[in-house]
């Protein structure tokens, strides 16, 4: 038994490409359809209502593409709208990032003191805190919104002094709490991995997408929903709500190849 329909992955913009990277690496035969809402990015500074409305439009679009499962790459959507999405769309498995970030974070910490960074909307939602406290009573979670990380990553300033100092300013507060693991609660943040590593020293840095890809593979395998192991190349398809050169540039940085995205209009 196999299922060659694509996996749908979506994000507010280009950041979700870091999730595509991990899913594509873990499941080399899977077709993937990606949607990035580049016309309305960023979600992280917007309200729950607005982000929910946008997400529902995108899931409907992906379902029209005949996807077998949906991965909410965006942590802001994961943190604010996942329950709503699973209530509306009951026929398709939907995965989100927060639960995988929590599982990986719990494995990484020894001191039970964990830091979480994300967008304003993700941090304000307290979704990571709630999930951590539900999973482990003895954990202490410290969270911090880092709104400049997304524009820095998109500007390509991932290694310069501005990225260094910004990382130090944002992360010092978490270091003062003596965390020993840090969850990257935003798909853009793996692009700043080197700076973040330097800023936090020996603290273990956790990218939820790595764990997500492994667990989604297990789920699809158990459900007999993995694609066939065929010789020809699987297809990665990219759709965006606005076309900008940034997509090509960042897809090259993240995926090693400048993929072309097709522009589609969801607001019709």
Instruction: Summarize as ranges the residues that interact with a second copy (CB under 8 A).
Output: 38-41, 45-47, 50, 147-148, 150-152, 154-155, 157, 160-162, 165-166, 169, 241-244, 246, 267
Least CB distance to a second copy at residue 14 (A): 10
Least CB distance to a second copy at residue 100 (A): 27
Q: Which long-range contacts (CB under 8 A, 24 or more apart) does 231-234 make?
A: 234/28, 234/29, 234/30, 234/31, 234/32
Q: Which is nearer to a second copy, 99 or 167 (CB)?
A: 167
Active site residue 146: no
Least CB distance to a second copy at residue 183 (A): 21
* Longest Cα–Cα distance in the chain: 52
Residue partners of 4: CB distance under 8 A and separation at least 6: 31, 227, 228
Per-residue DSSP letter, 6:
P
Q: Which is nearer to a second copy, 3 or 242 (CB)?
A: 242
Kindly report whether the peptide bond that precedes residue 42 is cis, defined as omega within 30 degrees of 0: yes
Q: Could you give the 3-state DSSP secondary structure of residue 263?
A: strand
Query: Which residue out of 81, 186, 195, 229 is catalytically annotated?
Result: 186
Least CB distance to a second copy at residue 190 (A): 19
Adjacent-strand bridge partners of 156:
none
Q: Which is nearer to a second copy, 18 or 38 (CB)?
A: 38
Active site residue 186: yes
Residues that are catalytic: 74, 186
């Amino acid at each position: 038994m196999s299922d060659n329909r694509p996996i749908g992955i979506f994000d507010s913009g280009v950041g979700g490409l870091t999730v595509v990277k991990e899913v594509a690496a873990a499941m080399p035969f899977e077709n993937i359809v990606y949607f990035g809402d580049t016309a309305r990015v960023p979600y992280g500074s917007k309200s729950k209502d607005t982000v929910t409305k946008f997400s529902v439009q995108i899931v409907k679009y992906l379902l029209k593409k005949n996807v077998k499962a949906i991965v909410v790459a965006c942590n802001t959507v994961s943190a604010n709208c996942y329950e709503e999405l699973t209530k509306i769309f009951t026929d398709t498995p939907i995965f989100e990032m927060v639960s995988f970030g929590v599982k990986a974070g719990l494995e990484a910490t020894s001191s039970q003191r964990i830091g979480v960074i994300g967008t304003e909307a993700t941090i304000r939602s307290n979704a990571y805190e709630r999930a951590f406290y539900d999973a482990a009573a003895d954990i202490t979670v410290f969270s911090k919104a880092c709104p400049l990380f997304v524009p820095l990553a998109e500007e390509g300033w991932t290694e310069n002094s501005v990225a260094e100092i910004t990382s130090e300013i944002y992360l010092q507060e978490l270091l003062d709490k003596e965390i020993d693991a840090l969850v990257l609660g935003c798909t853009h943040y793996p692009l700043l991995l080197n700076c973040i590593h330097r800023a936090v020293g020996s603290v273990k840095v956790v990218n939820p997408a790595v764990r997500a890809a492994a667990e989604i593979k297990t789920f699809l395998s158990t459900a007999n929903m993995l694609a066939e192991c065929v010789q020809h190349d699987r297809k990665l398809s990219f759709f965006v709500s606005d076309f900008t050169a940034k997509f090509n540039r960042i897809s090259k940085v993240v995926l090693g190849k400048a993929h072309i995205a097709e522009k589609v209009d969801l607001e019709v």
